[in-house]
A and B are shown apart, each in its own frame.
Chain A
Amino acid sequence: MSVAPASARRPERGDVWLIETTLLVLVAIVLAVATVNDLARQVGTNHRLIADLRTWRHYTGHDYHNISIDQETLGANTQREALCGNTSAGAPGAKTQICLAIWGPVLDGMRTVHGGWYLPPYVEDVRAKRYGCFGSGVEGICPR
C-alpha cells in the first residue's frame, strides 16, 4: 500500500483546530435552529392554507381544486389570505370567480370568512376588476 502524502496525514490538533471546530459547532447549531424554526413556520403556513382551502370549499359548496391563494392583497405577513375560484365548473379562471377574505385562528380545520368579492372570467385579481364586495372586512378592496 502506498504511503499517504504529507498533505493527507492526520491533521494536527492545535489551537487553530480547536477554534475552527468550536466555530463549526456554533455554525451548525445556528443552521439547525434556523432550519427547525423555518420548518415550524412552513408547517404553520401549510396548516393555515389547508384550512383556507377547506373554508373556501365549505363556504361556496364547490369541491374545486384550482383555487388561487393570495397572501399579499390583504397585507403581507398578516396571515390574511384572499382565495379565488370559479363560481361554476370550468377551466381555472374561465368562469366568474368568487374571492373570499379569510383570517383568524384555525378552528375545526377552518378559518373565518370576513368578506369577499367577485371577478369576471379571465381577469387578474386587481382592484379595478372587482365587484360585488360583501362582508365587513374588505373595505376599500372594491373600486366602489
Chain B
Amino acid sequence: MSVVAQSERGAAHVRSERWAPALATLLALLLVAAAAEIVFDGAAGLSPLVPKSPQIAAWLQGIGERLGYRVFLIALLVSSCAYAGLVALVGRSSPGCAGAERRYAGGVISKRWAIGLVAALQLIVFVGPILLSTDVFSYIAYARMGVEHGLNPYTHGPVAIVHDPIYRYVGHDWDLVATAYGPLYTLLSYPLALLGVVGALWGMKLEALLASAATLALIWRVARERGFDPVAAIVIVGANPLYVIYGLGGAHNDLIMLLAMMAAVSLVATGTPSGRREAGAAVWIVAGALIKATVAVLLPFMIVSRRRLAPILGTVAAIMLGALIGYAAFGIHGIDVVAALNRDSAFVSSDSFATEIAHLLGKPGVFPVDHDLLKAALVLIILHLLWRTWRGYDWIAASGWALLAISVTSTWLLAWYILWPLPLAVVTRDRRLLLATLVVQGLFVIHQISPLLALVQ
C-alpha cells in the first residue's frame, strides 16, 4: 500500500473517530425519546396498546396524549432504527474481533455512558404503565388465587376468582387457562399477592427491573471474562427496543428466566472450571425452567459440552427438589410441565412465522399437520446442534440457536420470546447468532407496522 493511501485511510479513520461518539449520542437520545413518548402517551389513558390497568402512572398524565397505533409504531420504528445504528457502531468492537484487532466500544461510547443509557431506558419504562400485554395481570391473578382464595392455579383459570379485583384486568383469552408457569415462579409471586392489586403490580414491575439489571450485570461479567466487549454487550441487550418496550414494559417473567439462564452461563463461563460450578449451573438452569420451561433446552448442551458427572448430578438433584416442592405446593398438576407445554404449543398467533408462511402458501392459517412439521424441524435442529456441541462447538452458542429455533418454529410467537437468545448471542464468538437474532427481531417489528401503512394509504 502506498504512503498516500495509508495516510488517506488514517485520515478517514480519524474523521470516523470524531463523528462516531456524536452519532452514538444522537442515536441514544432517539432511543430515550421514543421510549419516553410511548410511556408518557401510554400514561395518558385508555389505549388499545395499554391494557386496562389500575392507575399506577397517573402522575405522568398530562405530559402526553392518548397512545395510538400511529405514534406507537413511529416510536417503535425510530427506536429500532436508532438501535440498529447503535449496534452497528458498538458492534465494530464486539464479538468476533478478537485479540489485537479488538477495539472496545469505549472508543465510541464509554462504560459510564452505556450504563447511563441502559439505566435511563429501563427506568423510564419502569415508572410508566403496563404496556402491550395483560400477562402481568394473569401472574397476579394466579398468585391471588393461591394466597387469597385457596385455589390451585394449576387446576383453575382466573375465571375462578371472578369477584376478585384483579379479574377485570386479566386478558379474556386467558380467563379459563390455568397457569403454564413453573412452580418456582408461582411460589415467588405468592408474597406479592399480599400487597393488594396495585402493590402486586409494582412488585412485578420491580421484580422485572431487578431481574433485568442483574441479567445485564451477569452479561457484563461473562462478556469480559470471555474476552468480549462488555460495553457493547450490555448496550446490545439493554437498549434493545423489544427488550425495553415489550419485555420490561409488560413486566414479563421471561426476564427472571433470563436471569437464571445467565447465572448458569456465568458459573460455567467464568472463574476456574470445576465440577461444583457446573453442578451449580445445572441447578440454575433447572430453577429457570421452574420459572418458565423453555430455558431447560440449555441443559443437554451444557451436559454434552462438559462431559462430566457434576452437571448431571446437579440436574437430577435440582429436578428432584423442584418436583418435591412443586408437588407439595400444587400437587401433580404443579409438576406436569409436559401438559402445559403441549397445551401452549397448540396456540397460534398472527405474528408467528408459521402463520406468515401459511399465508404465503395460500393457506388461511396453521393446521395441525403444520404443528407436527414444525416440531419435527425443531427436533432436527436441536439434534444437529447437539452433534455440533459434541464436536466442540460452543455450547452457549448452541443453546442460543436452540432458543432462537424454538421461537421461530413456535406457532405462538410474542415479542418477548425473541429476546431469549439475545443474552447468549452477545457472549458467543459465532456472530451469526447475533445477526440471526436481530434479523428475526427486525422482521417481527416490520410485521407490526401494517396499521401505519394502512393509515398512510
Within 8 A of A (CB), among B337-394: 353, 355-357, 359-360, 364, 388, 392-394
Within 8 A of A (CB), among B431-455: 432, 436, 439-440, 443, 446-447, 449-451, 453-454
B404 to chain A, nearest CB (A): 10
Within 8 A of A (CB), among B395-409: 395-396, 408
Contact flag A34-B394 (CB < 8 Å), given A10-B98, A21-B432, A47-B457: no
Contact flag A43-B360 (CB < 8 Å), given A28-B439, A35-B443: no
Q: Are B227 and A31 in contact (CB under 8 A)?
A: no
Q: Are B227 and A1 in contact (CB under 8 A)?
A: yes
- Bound-state CA distance A93–B120 (Å) is 45
- Bound-state CA distance A141–B457 (Å) is 33
Answer yes or no: A126 CB below 8 A from chain B CBs: no
B356 to chain A, nearest CB (A): 4
Q: Are A11 and B364 in contact (CB under 8 A)?
A: no
Contacts of A54 in B (CB 8 A): none
A120 to chain B, nearest CB (A): 25
The residue from A2, A6, A77 contacting B227, defined by CB atoms under 8 A apart:
A2
Answer yes or no: B225 CB below 8 A from chain A CBs: yes
Q: Are A77 and B356 in contact (CB under 8 A)?
A: no
Contacts of A76 in B (CB 8 A): 364
Answer yes or no: B258 CB below 8 A from chain A CBs: no
- Bound-state CA distance A20–B454 (Å) is 38
User: Chain B interface: which size bin?
Assistant: 35 or more
- Bound-state CA distance A101–B432 (Å) is 51
- Bound-state CA distance A50–B440 (Å) is 30
- Bound-state CA distance A50–B359 (Å) is 22
Q: Are A35 and B447 in contact (CB under 8 A)?
A: yes
Q: Are B388 and A16 in contact (CB under 8 A)?
A: yes
The residue from B269, B360, B408, B430 contacting A5, defined by CB atoms under 8 A apart:
B269
Answer yes or no: B47 CB below 8 A from chain A CBs: no
- Bound-state CA distance A77–B359 (Å) is 12
Q: Are A34 and B359 in contact (CB under 8 A)?
A: yes
Q: Are B454 and A31 in contact (CB under 8 A)?
A: no
Answer yes or no: A41 CB below 8 A from chain B CBs: yes
The residue from B269, B443, B449 contacting A32, defined by CB atoms under 8 A apart:
B443
Q: Are A34 and B357 in contact (CB under 8 A)?
A: yes
- Bound-state CA distance A55–B113 (Å) is 53
Q: Are B394 and A11 in contact (CB under 8 A)?
A: yes
Answer yes or no: B429 CB below 8 A from chain A CBs: yes
Q: Chain B residue with minimal CB distance to A109?
A: B457
B433 to chain A, nearest CB (A): 10
Q: Are A46 and B356 in contact (CB under 8 A)?
A: no
Q: Are A43 and B457 in contact (CB under 8 A)?
A: yes
Contact flag A38-B360 (CB < 8 Å), given A11-B393, A24-B436, A31-B440: yes
- Bound-state CA distance A20–B384 (Å) is 10
Contacts of B429 in A (CB 8 A): 4, 8-11
Contacts of A1 in B (CB 8 A): 227
14 A-B pairs (CB sep. < 8 Å): A4-B226, A4-B227, A4-B429, A7-B394, A8-B226, A8-B429, A10-B98, A31-B440, A34-B359, A35-B353, A38-B355, A38-B360, A38-B447, A76-B364
